[in-house]
Amino acid sequence: MERTTHTLLVGDQATEFATQLGFKEEDLHSDKSRDLYKQWKQKNCQPNYWKNVVPDPKQSCGPYKPKPFPPNRNKQELSEDSYKGIGSDNHDTIGMVVVDSKGNVAGGTSTNGLNHKIPGRVGDSPIAGAGSYVDNDVGGAAATGDGDVMMRFLPSFHAVMMMKSGASPTIAAGDAIKSIIRFYPDFVGAVLAVNIEGAHGAACHGIEKFPYSIRSTDYSDVTVLEVPCM
């Protein structure tokens, strides 16, 4: 079977290539986003996601300095790291896995992330194995949810390796979620998996149900499916 070679461009290379394709660099700020930022600053930068710093990030905009880190932390303390305010109004992630007619697999994850992220933060989306992962001989997976937690477990990679061992996409996605909630019982997120045969499945935790869209020869158009969460 013919395989396709892909090249990843980052930084200035990506900008130059996009310019060659006719895309123009532009400021994506809007009047709305600027107003939201001003209001946030006026409220002492609340909410924000700084932890283990001084001054108190719940009352101050900083600048912050690290404070001594507790030597021992139990599972309950770890679970408190998860941000419980995730909702449809402040979070936006798109994950996609595609298997073409030649059997090539591609995947990607794009996210707007949560509002008021820490400057310089790198989320799970660009991390191979966390936001998404594919193997041309197996299939692919994509994940969404608490990115700071998912980066520690690489759920997309986990799901693909489970499928490589013979698990169905549904079982693989579920096992990836279970590996997270063992340590983070308050985790909110989901994993979608697809194998090279076109079988698909998903698993989720922390919400009632998780919808995902599928288009294949089994459906005449894009179909939205839902799975109940753990």
CATH code, domain with 172 = 3.60.20.30
Same domain, 42 and 152: no
Per-residue pLDDT, averaged over 86-104, amounts to 78
Residue 160 confidence (pLDDT): 98
* Residue span of the structural domain in which 189 resides: 93-228
User: Has residue 84 been placed in a domain?
Assistant: no
Residue 76 exposed, middle or buried by CB count within 10 Å (0-12, 13-18, 19+): exposed
Per-residue pLDDT, averaged over 195-214, amounts to 94
Give, in degrees to the nearest 5, the angle at Cα 63 between 59 and 67. 80
Q: What is the mean pLDDT of the chain?
A: 84
Domain count, the chain: 2
Give, in degrees to the nearest 5, the angle at Cα 142 between 141 and 143. 130
Tell me which residue of 194, 203, 201 sits closest to 105, measured CA to CA.
Answer: 194
Q: Which of the two residues, 89 and 203, has the higher pLDDT score? A: 203
Residue 5 confidence (pLDDT): 47
Residue 6 confidence (pLDDT): 46
Annotated catalytic residues are: 93
Same domain, 173 and 65: no
User: Has residue 202 been placed in a domain?
Assistant: yes
User: Has residue 106 been placed in a domain?
Assistant: yes
Q: Which of the two residues, 67 and 44, has the higher pLDDT score? A: 44
Query: Is 161's pLDDT higher than 70?
Result: yes
Same domain, 162 and 111: yes
Query: Is 192's pLDDT higher than 70?
Result: yes
Same domain, 58 and 148: no
Residue 101 confidence (pLDDT): 86
Global pTM reads 0.74
CA dist., res. 143 & res. 157, Å (int): 10
